[in-house]
Every structure is written in structure tokens, then in C-alpha cells.
Amino acid sequence: MFFFSFFRMLQMKSTEQYNSDAADETHKTSAVSPLIMVSPLRTICPFDDSKDWYDDWYDEDAGLNTGSIKREPSDDVNGETDDSSAAPPLMVTPLQTIRPSDDSNNNCYDVGAGPSTVPVKRGRGRPKGSKKPKKPKTDDPNSRMVESCSNFDSRITEVERETGNQEIVGSVLKRFDAVRRRLCQLNHPKHLLTTASTNCTKLGVQTNRRRRIGPVPGVQVGDIFYYWGEMCLVGLHKQTVAGIDYLTAAESAVDGQAATSVVTAGKYDDETEELDTLIYSGHGRKVKYGPPCDQVLQRGNLALEASERRGNDVRVVRREVHNNEKVYIYDGLYMVSRSWIVTGKSGSQEFRFKLVRKPDQPPGYAIWKLVEKLRNHESIDPREGFILQDLSFGEELLPVHLVNEVDEDDKTIPEDFEYIRSQCYSGMKHDLHVDGQALGCHNCQGESCSHQNCTCMGKNGGQLPYHKNILVCRKPLIYECGESCTCPIDCPNRLVQTGLKLHLEVFKTTNCGWGLRSWDPIRAGTFICEFAGVSKAKEEVEEDDDYLFDTSRIYHTFIWNYEPQLLREDASKQVSEVINLPTQVLISAKEKGNVGRFMNHSCSPNVFWQPIEYENNGVTYVRIGLFAMKHIPPMTELTYDYGVSFVEKTGEDEVIYRGKKICLCGLVQCCGSFG
């Protein structure tokens, strides 16, 4: 309204001035040039190269972006998009009536006022043809953005960057998320995800860079992603802007474009409820403000139309929301069966594409919809193999279902044991050489541990080990607040002691007895459960105890923490991941235990264990927390490395590690034994 009122005021003023000029015509010393009236400008609808152009139309640093639209996935630290920040379409300011001037006579003055003695003001903006001088780039000491690092080893060859495998894909995702978690811990102010993905790209932590039609090496149907940038780093969807990725004519082996993948946005007119079909709306010219604009058959729309004619495979990624977080599910290969034009809700012409899922693929989105029903109706389990609604018998905040889908007629429950929520010490304590006067954070006084004077934070290196219930780094030992601490029960440094936060179920496996899996998607670093049982001395352990956890066993080493060079930190700041407890911790879940006792061994696990020191009544104990090593899709079996107990020397420098039991994980990298 301001623009229209201002424009009307200028018109009235121009009319009055013109009438006054006409009345005083005889008093003029020279003829007045005719008015140049510029037609009012219309609202400009910027062309949308993606469905979400408005998410990045406004730049926090520079204000309204009047240049070409460059859109990156607008995820914040939690992967959410802030639609409220969308800016209206570009409005051009109303033009004033312009009087041409005679520069040769310097007769630039208002009629009736005489020549002006004041220097003429130059109009707003720079002279035509001039360029704004570039500001020299200054190195921001607080910036975490990496330009280069000559001594950084990405451990990915150039060939692997072009075409990866499952191990490389897992490594890239793990390292990206480690950087993201570290930035969260540092409370990095903005562009957190952009910093993490850009640094990984610049330092070569990426794979499958070449666009391709069909499967992506190392990415499995059903894999989940929490951020758009993760899909870009592993080559599942290379477009950082649009929901339709495609090969250009230059990249394609055939003439013209061809679509490679699509991602459902979740807030457009896509029809996504069907498990084997998808109605995908075309992209382009979708705006929040201003008149609707028809979509055009170009770029992604043209590529999908070409894929319909050619019949090539198109990867489909479906976006869902779980606990207010976006989750992207890779649902496999589809084919474009037909396309048409409809009149959208806004009244504009929009494209529609029907994609049909190819048969004989592992379930992806179908599993998501199954567990969604189970979570929403957990008291009614429709599966034929359902046995028991809550194996914890009310001990846990969330019920633990028991199901046997291998033999649906067998309703036998696991052998007798007492379900306990947390570790039972039975008089056994661990001598960790802790000063009794140093127990508890007495200076927090009812506030959550977050300041540098907190004793518990000091033990953890001056920073909280968790960010929003996600473990940031593995450590030799993590210190959680205990009974002597004055912080509240919801202190962010109390996690393992608070029990289950996931919908877990115990299920019958094909050849490994009972196993454990989750109805919920699990993000890397999420606390899954404690390994609860009875703490024992070495002489108390039974020889045939199959439910024994032993910290003294030899475990496969792996790197999970962030690499300092990926964040402009010195390599010497690498956080140690070597578990080195001063005393052996033995926990038996044979007679008493929780869901942790059902987690099986794997030589390529998706869960790892972390020792947690906890104080109770002035005595310190060690708990074992089990955390997600990577993003884990729903209904995927949860496994960790049991380690091995025996070492055999086969030569002067050769050592073979052997366990008591034969491993049945069936993986290529299987070690053959464990325990």
C-alpha cells in the first residue's frame, strides 16, 4: 500500500506543478520541456528454478537478493526449513515524473524559483558503466570454512570419488555428520550445514560425483538421510537446488536430457501416499506472493518428459517428517509412465508426472509406512507373529514389543530373566581413583550444566558431550551428572541414565536367535539403550555366560569423531577414541537385563559402546551406553561388536584374534568368531 500511496502522491504533485507551470507561462525565460511520463512498473515474478526458491530468496547478510537465484537446501541445524523467512517478490519503486534538463545552459531549476545555486544531487546508484569496487577478502578467525588443506588425507582415491561403494558411501556420511555435530557443539552461528558440506567437498570427502541413470554404487534401497547435502555428497541426488536431477544433453549418452532422480518436497501437490506409485508435480514458477505463473516445459520438466519417452530408470527419494525432523528415504527405481497438465490450486498451469516403482526391489517407503502405523497404534499389533506387547512389563517408558515372524505359530518368549531398566551393581563398584570432594557440580545450583565453571563440564574437556541428546564424540570416558550434582533431572548431561527414548522391539532372526530393532529412524550418535545387567568381578563370571559384556576384550578399531582439518583446526586436537579404563568392567545380563541383552554381534556393526561414569551416593560406577554409529533405517537389526578374548601368534609379527563362538553375520568382512 505504501508504494501505491507514494506513487499517487507523486502524480498529484506533478499535476499541480504542471498546472502552475501553464499559468505562469508568460513569466518564463525559456520554454519548459514536455514531461516524460514513465508507465508504472508491474510486480515481477522471479522465475523459480526449483520449488523452494523463496527459501533462499532473502539473504541474511545482504538483504533482498536482486540477482540470479542461487538456492541451497535451506536446512537449519536440525534440518528444518524456516518458511516464515520467505521474502515477497521484487517490487520496483514507483518512478517520479522526470524533467529533461539542458546541460549546456545549466537551466536545471524549478519554474518560478530561478536558477538553483545548490549543486545538483546525483541520482541514487552508481554512474552507468561503473563497477562497485570489490572489498578485499579478510580471513575471519571465527570462520570454519576451509579453502584448502595440503596435508589432509581424504582416504578416498580419485577413482572412488567418481564411482564409490558401500564402504566409501558410509565413510563420507559418517565424516560429514561428525563435522556437523562438532559445529553444533561449538554453537556455530549460521550456515552450519553449508560449512559442513562445502568443507567435505573441497577436501575430497565425497563420492559418485558423476551423474548417472539407475542405481548409485554404495547406496541401498531404504537408506535414510537427514540432510539434503548428504544425498549430494554420495551422488544420490546431485542437484543442490531443485527436486528434479537430470543429465544434460552433453552428459547424456543419448540425445537430449534424461531425468536421474526426484525428491518429494512434502509441501506441494505431490501425491505420495501410494507405496508403488508417485504423482510428482513439476517445478518452476511457484511463488508465495504475486500472481500465479504457468510452468514451462524446460530443464527438470523437460527431462522427466524425455524419460517418459525413453523409459529410463529414475531414482525416487521420499521426504517424511519424524519428531519434527526431515527424513529422506531412498525408495529405489521408478519409471515415468505418463505426464499431463492440470490447473493447480493457484490457477496456474502445472505439470504432473506419474512414476511407477519397478518390481523385485527391497522395500523402502513401504517399511516406513508400516512402522508409522505401528507407532500410531502401538497397543494393536496386526502382525501374525505378534507375541507380547511389552517385554519390559512396564519398566520402560515405551513398551518393548516381542514378535516372531520366522515361525508365526511359535509363541515362545525368551528364556526366563528379570527385566531391569538400568545396571544392577550388587555391591560391586569400580575403583576409578576419583577424589570424593570432586563429585558433583555443586556450583550449578538447579541450573543445567552449560557454563565453564561446571565441574562435570570440566571433566568432559570444558564442553557438553551431547548436543540435543546426540553424542558429539567418542571418548575414553564420558562423565555424566550423578546424585550429588545440583543440576535438574533434565540436565543435558544426563542421557544414558534416563532410559529408552526409541520404540524398540525384540524379534526372532533367521539364524541368530532373538535380535533387536527399532520402529523409529535413528540418527548417527543417538543413544539407543544401556547394556543393563549385574556388575560382576572376574571370579564371579560363569564360563557359559552368553550375555556377558567385557571391556577387556579386543575390539575392531574405527574412527567416528570429526577430523580437525575439516574445520580449520589443528590436527593435534583430534579427540582420542581409545577406550582405556583403569579397571576391567564385566556386566552379565544372563539373569537380569534389559533390551541390550538381545543386541547381536556383527563384524560390521551399526552400533558402538561408550563407557559412562556415573556417581551414586558418593560411589562412582561405569555404565555402558550403546549409540548409533550411523543413520539407521527403521526395522534394521541393531548390532555391535562383541570383541574377541583370545590372541594367537602365528609368526613373529602375525597375530590372529579368535573368539569363543562362531560368527554368523554372513558379511564379506566377517572375522569368523567373536566373544
pLDDT (tens digit per residue) in 194-226: 999 999 999 999 999 999 999 999 999 999 999
In the predicted structure, residue 88 carries a pLDDT above the cut 90: no
**Confidence class of residue 534 from pLDDT cuts 50, 70 and 90?**
very high
Instruction: Name which of 41, 42, 52, 106 is nearest 75 in CA terms.
Output: 52
For residue 515, the surrounding DSSP H or E stretch is strand 514-518
Instruction: Name which of 318, 224, 301 is nearest 265 in CA terms.
Output: 318
Q: For residue 610, how far is the Cα from the chain centroid?
A: 23
The b-or-e profile of 177-194 (16+ CB within 10 A means b, else e) is bbbbbbbbbeebeebbbb
Which amino acid makes up residue 205?
V
For 144, phi then psi, to 5°, come to: -105, 5
Residue 218 — left, alpha, or beta (φ > 0 → left; ψ -120 to 50 → alpha)?
left
Question: What distance in Å separates the CA atoms of residue 608 and residue 557, rounded to the nearest whole number?
Answer: 11
In the predicted structure, residue 568 carries a pLDDT above the cut 60: yes
In the predicted structure, residue 564 carries a pLDDT above the cut 50: yes
Question: What distance in Å separates the CA atoms of residue 348 and residue 342, rounded to the nearest whole number?
Answer: 8
Average pLDDT over residues 257-271: 87
Q: What is the three-class DSSP state of 193?
A: helix
Q: For residue 598, how far is the Cα from the chain centroid?
A: 29
- In this structure, of 52-61, 77-86, 157-166, 293-302, the range with the lowest mean pLDDT score is 52-61
Structural contact between residues 506 and 401, judged by C-beta atoms closer than 8 angstroms: yes
Average pLDDT over residues 566-577: 91
- DSSP state letter for 60: T
- In this structure, of 82-86, 150-154, 250-254, 288-292, the range with the lowest mean pLDDT score is 82-86
In the predicted structure, residue 64 carries a pLDDT above the cut 60: no
For 530, phi then psi, to 5°, come to: -90, 150
pLDDT tens per residue, range 362-385 = 999 999 999 999 998 877 888 999
Q: What is the pLDDT of residue 284?
A: 80
- DSSP state letter for 575: P
For residue 373, the surrounding DSSP H or E stretch is helix 365-376
Give the other-Cβ count within 10 Å of 319's Cβ: 18
In the predicted structure, residue 106 carries a pLDDT above the cut 80: no
Q: How far is CA 259 from CA 222, 296, 299, 307, 314, in A?
A: 21, 16, 9, 6, 6
For residue 593, the surrounding DSSP H or E stretch is strand 592-593
This prediction has a pTM of 0.80
| Degrees, nearest 5: CA angle 375-380-385 | 100
Comparing 322 with 116, the larger pLDDT belongs to 322
Q: What is the pLDDT of residue 326?
A: 95
- In this structure, of 118-132, 436-450, 491-505, the range with the lowest mean pLDDT score is 118-132
Q: What is the pLDDT of residue 539?
A: 92
Question: What distance in Å separates the CA atoms of residue 666 and residue 100, rounded to the nearest whole number?
Answer: 85
Question: What distance in Å separates the CA atoms of residue 234 and residue 163, rounded to the nearest whole number?
Answer: 10
In the predicted structure, residue 243 carries a pLDDT above the cut 60: yes
The number of residues in the chain equals: 675
**Confidence class of residue 344 from pLDDT cuts 50, 70 and 90?**
confident
Average pLDDT over residues 662-675: 84
Comparing 135 with 363, the larger pLDDT belongs to 363
**Confidence class of residue 46 from pLDDT cuts 50, 70 and 90?**
very low
Contacts of 455 (CB under 8 A, 6+ apart): 438, 440, 441, 442, 443
Question: What distance in Å separates the CA atoms of residue 27 and residue 29, rounded to the nearest whole number?
Answer: 7
Share of the chain above pLDDT 70, in %: 75
Most confident of 59-73, 481-495, 599-613: 599-613
Q: What is the pLDDT of residue 87?
A: 43
The 3-class SS string of 623-644 reads EEEEEECCCECCCCECEECCCE
Most confident of 438-442, 527-531, 567-571: 527-531
**Confidence class of residue 430 from pLDDT cuts 50, 70 and 90?**
low
Q: What is the pLDDT of residue 124?
A: 60
Contacts of 370 (CB under 8 A, 6+ apart): 635
**Confidence class of residue 295 from pLDDT cuts 50, 70 and 90?**
very high
Average pLDDT over residues 140-149: 79
Average pLDDT over residues 297-309: 95
Q: What is the pLDDT of residue 135?
A: 60
Question: What distance in Å separates the CA atoms of residue 66 and residue 60, rounded to the nearest whole number?
Answer: 13
| Degrees, nearest 5: CA angle 313-315-321 | 155
Where helices occur in 433-524 by DSSP H, the ranges are 455-459
> For residue 639, with 0-12 CB atoms within 10 Å meaning exposed, 13-18 middle and 19 or more buried, which class applies?
buried
> For residue 173, with 0-12 CB atoms within 10 Å meaning exposed, 13-18 middle and 19 or more buried, which class applies?
buried
Comparing 594 with 450, the larger pLDDT belongs to 594
Q: What is the pLDDT of residue 75?
A: 45
In the predicted structure, residue 164 carries a pLDDT above the cut 90: yes
* Alpha carbon distance, N-terminus to C-terminus of the chain: 75
In the predicted structure, residue 444 carries a pLDDT above the cut 60: yes
Average pLDDT over residues 131-156: 75
Comparing 360 with 129, the larger pLDDT belongs to 360
**Confidence class of residue 13 from pLDDT cuts 50, 70 and 90?**
very low
Q: What is the pLDDT of residue 432?
A: 53
Question: What distance in Å separates the CA atoms of residue 561 and residue 567, rounded to the nearest whole number?
Answer: 12
Instruction: Name which of 489, 496, 519, 48 is nearest 299 in CA terms.
Output: 48
Which cell goes with 456? Answer: 562435570
Q: What is the largest CA-CA distance in the chain?
A: 120
Question: What distance in Å separates the CA atoms of residue 314 and residue 386, rounded to the nearest whole number?
Answer: 37
- DSSP state letter for 441: -
Q: What is the pLDDT of residue 328?
A: 97
Which cell goes with 165? Answer: 561403494
Radius of gyration of the chain (CA): 32
Question: What distance in Å separates the CA atoms of residue 162 and residue 143, rounded to the nearest whole number?
Answer: 29
Which cell goes with 9? Answer: 502522491
Q: What is the pLDDT of residue 52?
A: 41
Q: What is the three-class DSSP state of 299?
A: helix
* Average pLDDT value for the chain: 81
Question: What distance in Å separates the CA atoms of residue 332 and residue 173, rounded to the nearest whole number?
Answer: 19
